[in-house]
A and B are shown apart, each in its own frame.
Chain A
Amino acid sequence: MSLEPRAGQTPSILKKSTWIDFGIRLTAVILALVFTSLILVIAKAQPLEAYKSILQGAFGTTIKFTSVIASWVPLVIATSGLLFTFTAGLWNIGMEGQIVMGAVFTVGAFRIFDETGLDPSLVIFLAFLAGAAGGIFWALLPGLMKIYGGVNEIFGGLGLNFVAKTAAIWLIFGPWKRPGVASGSGTEWIDIPFRLPYIPGTNLSLTILIIAIIVAVFTAIMLKGTHFGLRLKAIGKNDKAAYILGIPTTRYFLLAFGLCGLFAGIAGAILVTSKQYSLIPDAGFGYGFLGLLVAMLVNYHPIWSAVIAFFFAALSIGNTELQYMGLNSYFAGVLQGFLVLFVVLVDGVRKRLVTKL
């Protein structure tokens, strides 16, 4: 439950209990709902109406429901990537930038291949490969900086996030701008054949759903069932001891970053091919940051992360509905903020209590 990925300091007497853990999280969720309701009351809105409207907004129509799934896809992929780095004890704050780089490389690939007359599905595949490469490239940088330059990955990641966004903006306003246009609206859309088609009547591409499920299952299996996952966990909890036990920690650090970058790149490619169709300044849509949040909230547990990611996706889609009620749609942000706050808080309180037991 510790929020630090390095759980070495966890007091030995903490007994892992599923039910306590679950109760803790439920308490946090309830507290967050109560406090958000309070804010709503202060804002002279009906909390129940608001929650109802969020639920309607998320699940009321097929369009909305499939939008939730479409939004869950990049989030769960980003979270999956982050589970690898978190397990290895790494704070990959640079996730957002890695998704942006994935999008940049994807769009770059389309710019190269769109006139070649290649089969569109081949071009899409190449664009995904490029996106993956971009994500991996951008993720390995903080890894290398950490290992060979002694730069904490948090600072490296923060810096690289900024660089990635700046690079995207530079491309949008510079070399990749639409002819005669210089606008934050983004680059020219990719041609229709390159867009992943939606399941008719929905907002969801089947391809990305399949990718997300593969990624989530892969992550759960890798982390929970393989030697690789166990070694990563060992490194995350005590890299010195792991090294002495014979785990090549440097290689595993880079592997964790690489895998995280791979998923970031795929998420970026998905956002380009199934949602935005172009490079925009916020090409990561904040999924990297939201992924960090989800991974933290679930204490780096793969199966839970899929569930919580779904919850957050539903929240962010349902949120729009509040505007129809005349409520500010930054409401979801308030709820998210309270959630994080209370999970951290309740966790801290629990630790205190446990030490006293």
Chain B
Amino acid sequence: MSRKSAWILISILMIMVLTLTACKPAGTVEEPVAEEPVAEEPAVEETEVQEVTEAPVTEAEPLTVGLLLVGPANDAGWSQAHFDSMAYVQEKLPGTELLYLENVYTGSTAHTQTPAELAADMAAKGAKVVIFNSDDQKDNAIKFAQENPDVYVIHASGDSAWKEGKNYVDLPNLKNIMGRMEYGKMIAGCAAALTTQTGKIGFLGPLINDETRRFAASSYLGAKYCWTEYLGKDPADLEFKVTWIGFWFNIPGVTLDPTQVSDDFFNTGYDVIISSIDTTEALTEAKKFAADGKQVWAVPYDYEGACEGANDVCLGVEYFNWGPSYVAALKSIQDGTWESSFELVGPDWADINNPDTSMIGFNKGGALSADNAAKIDQFISELGGGLNLWTGPINLQDGSTYLADGEVATDLQVWYLPQLLEGMEGQSE
């Protein structure tokens, strides 16, 4: 092959470019997302209470939102919770355009570009605000925010915008939003403790960091509380084991296989798995084991519809409801009140499943007995009534004191929990 033919190939490619792009005037990228049927949103029930928050925004210019999903939009977990919230956003803020990409994570084979680069392209396509939906994209979110001061950045689950936090970066265009999932995890732990027959609860953890330690510990606190207070059992008889797979979801060759980890739990006497990864392997495996006649259950995570398909082994799901927070953030951009902030949003204790007000919810699963369901309701109302399980005495896994007797943990203490707690089995870092 000669240089000449190389040039010929280039010219042919160029001609292809020209003819193909000539088919339609460039720049009219349609928004297929808007045409997609709005994913089933059973929880959306218009309530009159919300009238107040619906300030007239008619003259506000519609925004284009970029959304980088760490996983697939239909993962029945973390990413789907985000993706579905966009339908809520578009309903509340008509005209909002969505650009989204799936599988945006470190080493993803779906993209040759880093999240920051993908975000830059979204901005070039007109996105005024980009949502980075994962802890995995944290550095990229910061980098992008630094390099694109004109674009608003929302990083879900991060702490870079928390002035009091350990990782504060002064970036006026960066906002963190996260839910107080500690409560959701406590409810999940409670459901697990109420249901377990063997007294052994498995916690299917993603990677290890502040967030995941916090949630694993919350699950344990909830489990221990219900185990002792509602069932009157000895806390020493409750086994709570954490296994981390190494990432938010399965990456073959890099992480442990969550299916395998779930199987191992069920095969070694753990009859309830609390999942804290983005995807639903634990529930799937529970269903498989149940079909073989074993008495096992699982608590999935993140997405309100996660129990679907395996409801008869599902004890319920603690989920995020991102919609209202995103609506508020977008509105603040439209009306010019945006501020860099760290937003830690709790449940609406009046009704934790209210789609317009509650960031954290819990949908009971079909496998939760009526008796236990009543206890869960009781637990939720206790929490709403001021019960704080992050109250001393609590020791860390290595036996050192975390909270002295009667001491109540601050948000900072909870967020940056340095280790798992005493009584939990599993790696702390």
| Nearest CB of chain A from residue B131's CB, rounded to whole Å | 15
Q: A18-B4, A182-B244, A182-B246 given as contacts; is B114 within 8 A of A276 (CB)?
A: yes
* Bound CA–CA A179/B20 (angstroms): 50
Chain A 47-67, CB-CB to B under 8 Å as 1, else 0, gives 010011001100111111001
* Bound CA–CA A67/B112 (angstroms): 9
Q: A307-B6, A316-B112 given as contacts; is B207 within 8 A of A59 (CB)?
A: no
Cβ–Cβ < 8 Å partners of A319 in chain B: 111-112
Stretch of B22-30, B215-223, B315-323, B384-392 on the interface side? B22-30
Chain B 104-145, CB-CB to A under 8 Å as 1, else 0, gives 011101111110011011001100000000011011000000
Q: Does B253 contact A (CB under 8 A)?
A: yes
Q: How many A-B residue pairs have CB under 8 A?
A: 161
Cβ–Cβ < 8 Å partners of A324 in chain B: 29, 32, 99, 101
Q: Which one, B16, B99, B106, contacts A185 given CB within 8 A?
A: B106
| Nearest CB of chain A from residue B157's CB, rounded to whole Å | 12
Find out whether the CB atom of A183 lies under 8 angstroms from the CB atom of B251. no
13 A-B contacts, Cβ less than 8 Å apart? A19-B5, A22-B5, A25-B9, A52-B21, A55-B21, A63-B124, A177-B429, A180-B429, A181-B429, A276-B114, A281-B106, A303-B6, A330-B110
- The chain A residue with its CB closest to the CB of B139 is A189
Q: Which residues of B414-429 have CB atoms within 8 Å of chain A's CB atoms? A: 418, 427, 429
Find out whether the CB atom of A183 lies under 8 angstroms from the CB atom of B209. yes
Q: Which residues of B1-51 have CB atoms within 8 Å of chain A's CB atoms? A: 1-6, 8-10, 12-13, 16-17, 20-21, 23-24, 26, 29, 32-33, 36
Q: Does A10 contact B (CB under 8 A)?
A: no
Find out whether the CB atom of B207 lies under 8 angstroms from the CB atom of A329. no
Cβ–Cβ < 8 Å partners of B118 in chain A: 320
* Residue from the set A181, A285, A303, A325 with the largest chain B CB neighbour count within 10 Å: A181
3 residue pairs, one from A and one from B, having the closest CB atoms: A183-B207, A282-B107, A184-B247
Find out whether the CB atom of A323 lies under 8 angstroms from the CB atom of B113. no
| Nearest CB of chain B from residue A347's CB, rounded to whole Å | 13
Q: Does B312 contact A (CB under 8 A)?
A: no
* Bound CA–CA A67/B117 (angstroms): 8
Cβ–Cβ < 8 Å partners of A180 in chain B: 208-210, 213, 418, 429
Q: Does B102 contact A (CB under 8 A)?
A: yes
* Bound CA–CA A186/B125 (angstroms): 29
- The chain B residue with its CB closest to the CB of A306 is B6
Q: Which one, B13, B113, B209, B253, contacts A165 given CB within 8 A?
A: B253
Cβ–Cβ < 8 Å partners of A329 in chain B: 102-103, 110-111
Q: A22-B5, A307-B6 given as contacts; is B254 within 8 A of A323 (CB)?
A: no
| Nearest CB of chain A from residue B408's CB, rounded to whole Å | 23
Find out whether the CB atom of B10 lies under 8 angstroms from the CB atom of A307. yes
| Nearest CB of chain A from residue B60's CB, rounded to whole Å | 25
- The chain B residue with its CB closest to the CB of A22 is B5
* Bound CA–CA A16/B13 (angstroms): 24
Q: Which residues of A313-333 have CB atoms within 8 Å of chain B's CB atoms? A: 313, 316-317, 319-320, 323-326, 329-330, 333
Q: Does B397 contact A (CB under 8 A)?
A: no
Chain B 199-227, CB-CB to A under 8 Å as 1, else 0, gives 00000000111100100000000000000
| Nearest CB of chain B from residue A37's CB, rounded to whole Å | 12
- The chain A residue with its CB closest to the CB of B428 is A180
Q: Does A6 contact B (CB under 8 A)?
A: no
* Residue from the set A67, A165, A169 with the largest chain B CB neighbour count within 10 Å: A67
| Nearest CB of chain B from residue A113's CB, rounded to whole Å | 20
Find out whether the CB atom of B106 lies under 8 angstroms from the CB atom of A186. yes
* Bound CA–CA A51/B120 (angstroms): 22
Q: Does A86 contact B (CB under 8 A)?
A: no
Find out whether the CB atom of B429 lies under 8 angstroms from the CB atom of A286. no
Q: Does B255 contact A (CB under 8 A)?
A: yes
Cβ–Cβ < 8 Å partners of B100 in chain A: 323
Find out whether the CB atom of A280 lies under 8 angstroms from the CB atom of B4. no
Q: Which one, A173, A182, A301, contacts B1 given CB within 8 A?
A: A301
- The chain A residue with its CB closest to the CB of B255 is A184
Find out whether the CB atom of B251 lies under 8 angstroms from the CB atom of A298. no
Find out whether the CB atom of B32 lies under 8 angstroms from the CB atom of A326. yes
Find out whether the CB atom of B6 lies under 8 angstroms from the CB atom of A304. yes
Q: Does A277 contact B (CB under 8 A)?
A: yes
Q: Does A275 contact B (CB under 8 A)?
A: yes
Cβ–Cβ < 8 Å partners of A21 in chain B: 1, 5
- The chain A residue with its CB closest to the CB of B112 is A316
Q: Which one, B36, B120, B125, B208, contacts A182 given CB within 8 A?
A: B208
Chain A 19-58, CB-CB to B under 8 Å as 1, else 0, gives 1011001100000000000000000000010011001100
Cβ–Cβ < 8 Å partners of B213 in chain A: 180
Q: Which one, B8, B109, B125, contacts A22 given CB within 8 A?
A: B8
